[in-house]
């Protein structure tokens, strides 16, 4: 889908309501108020990601595991939408993290069930698209249901993408776009990854699903527009690198897969690029984006960016002239308050001299702890945006 720069029109004359959810939603609402002034509405964002708004209510909730705040905030949004008529207008602000923050468990599903399901999904190693299929069929807002709930009012949904390929149905689990999958698809995904789900899930699936198909006329009054996406951040990085005299190799903005496998693969590409450089050649920046997954097999503290970086560090084996940064643009990699990690050639030998075994940390999914030990963590705090992961190798000729 084309990414359209945000040019907010004049505020409609009728009743206008602002709703939203995601790590960037409070900052987006702040931007709306700067143009339209005080507005009626409510947005849900992650704890610590609030902004000083004039009139739009902010609810802070838990991410990546939902909590009572997310449930109550979501119900407030749904209750607000029930008061609207066909002459009213809804501006919906969606960004990454909305899958957790917009939480309305399906009938018969408790919050504790929902929390267990979410943890199981995050630890399964399944890509975000498959995780979201399961989420949609266990929710009252995902899979187009929030968009349908705004009917008969008109809705404009402005979206910051944090997913590979900018697929609308994957961003915040597609709360305002139609869904083609069936409950059986969710069942198949659970079986595929051998997920341990609460018994009530089977009962819910046996009753069918409440997701909204794309042909539902309630979605005819919903207009979804992506205003920012991972590709834009990588293009900007490429242009900056070129302006500074680097050569740039671009692997793509929508890469998926197992983080440690991809760390080895990209480290191998970096080594191959370096082997072909002559002493007089410009250094090369190897760029990529997307969203990797981690199959959790232990109880370490890690995330896909740090695990990618640790696997790459081990594979590079202290090779001179190759550096790496791997971060989540929202400032949170996995469940830790850490954006990601950087790698330098001296780091592995530094660890060895101190008896720190990098392979053991990787085996127990404890990448953040490793980089904390060796001084390789990158901590940004809340960035108030979310356009997926950013990875860059710096490759110097020897």
| 3-class secondary structure per residue, the chain | CCCCCCCCCCCCCCCEEEEEECCCHHHHHHHHHHHHCCCEEEEEEECCCCCCCCCCEEEEECCCCCCHHHHHHHHHHHHHHCCCCCCCEEEEEECCCHHHHCCCECCCCCHHHHHHHHHHHHHCCCCHHHHHHHHHCCECCCCCHHHHHCCCCEEEEEEECCCHHHCCCCHHHCCCCCCCCCHHHHHHHHHHCCCCCCCHHHHHHHCCCCCCCCCCHHHHHEEEEEEECHHHHHHHHHHHHHHCCCEEEECCCCEEEEHHHHHHHHHHHHHHHHHHCCCCCCCEEEEEEEEEECCCCCCCCCCHHHHHHHHHHHHHCCCCCEEEEEEECCCCECCECCCEEEECCCHHHHHHHCCCCHHHHHHCCCHHHHHHHHCCEECCCCCCCCCCEEEEEEECCC
CATH 3.40.50.10180 domain position(s) in the chain: 16-228
Out of 3.30.365.10, 3.40.50.10180, 3.60.15.10, 3.20.20.70, the CATH code matching 16-228 is 3.40.50.10180
Give mean pLDDT, residues 134-144.
Answer: 97
- Does the pTM of the predicted model rise above 0.95? no
pLDDT tens digit sequence for 223-265: 999 999 988 889 999 999 999 999 999 999 989 999 999 999 9
Give mean pLDDT, residues 10-32.
Answer: 92
Out of 3.40.1480.10, 3.40.640.10, 3.30.230.10, 3.30.300.30, the CATH code matching 231-395 is 3.40.1480.10
pLDDT at 7: 59
pLDDT tens digit sequence for 158-193: 999 998 888 999 999 999 999 999 999 999 999 999
pLDDT at 132: 94
CATH 3.40.1480.10 domain position(s) in the chain: 231-395
User: Is 1's pLDDT higher than 50?
Assistant: no
């Amino acid at each position: 889908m084309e990414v359209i720069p945000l040019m907010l029109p004049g505020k409609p004359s009728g009743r206008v309501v602002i709703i939203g959810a995601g790590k960037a939603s409070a900052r987006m609402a702040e931007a709306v108020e700067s143009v339209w002034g005080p507005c009626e509405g409510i947005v849900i964002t992650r704890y610590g990601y609030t902004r000083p708004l004039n009139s739009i209510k902010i609810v802070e909730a838990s991410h990546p595991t939902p909590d009572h705040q997310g449930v109550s905030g979501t119900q407030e949004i749904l209750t607000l939408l029930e008061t609207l008529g066909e002459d009213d207008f809804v501006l919906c602000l969606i960004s990454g993290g909305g899958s957790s923050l917009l939480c309305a468990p399906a009938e018969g599903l408790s919050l504790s069930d929902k929390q267990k399901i979410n943890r199981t999904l995050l630890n399964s190693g399944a890509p975000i698209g498959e995780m979201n299929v399961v989420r949609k069929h266990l929710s009252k807002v995902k899979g187009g249901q929030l968009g349908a709930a705004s009917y008969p009012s008109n809705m404009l949904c402005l979206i910051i993408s944090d997913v590979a390929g900018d697929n609308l149905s994957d961003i915040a689990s597609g709360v305002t776009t139609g869904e083609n999958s069936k409950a059986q698809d969710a069942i198949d995904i659970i079986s595929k990854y051998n997920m341990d789900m609460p018994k009530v899930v089977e009962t819910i699936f046996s009753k069918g699903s409440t997701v909204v198909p794309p042909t539902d006329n309630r979605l005819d009054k919903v207009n979804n527009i992506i205003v920012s996406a991972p590709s834009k951040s990588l293009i900007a990085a490429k242009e900056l690198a070129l302006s500074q005299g680097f050569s740039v190799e671009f692997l793509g903005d929508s890469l998926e897969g197992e983080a440690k496998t991809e760390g080895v693969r990209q480290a191998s590409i970096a080594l191959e690029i370096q082997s072909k450089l002559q002493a007089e050649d410009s250094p090369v920046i190897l760029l990529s984006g997307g969203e990797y997954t981690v199959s959790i097999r232990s109880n370490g503290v890690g995330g896909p960016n740090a695990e990618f970086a640790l696997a790459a560090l081990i594979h590079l084996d202290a090779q001179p002239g190759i550096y790496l940064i791997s971060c989540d643009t929202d400032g949170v990699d996995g469940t830790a308050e850490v954006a990601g990690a950087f790698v330098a050639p001296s780091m592995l030998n530094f660890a060895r001299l101190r008896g720190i075994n990098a392979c053991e940390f990787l085996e127990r999914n404890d990448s953040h702890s490793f980089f904390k030990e060796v001084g390789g963590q990158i901590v940004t705090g809340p960035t108030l945006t979310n356009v997926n992961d950013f990875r860059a190798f710096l490759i110097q000729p020897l």
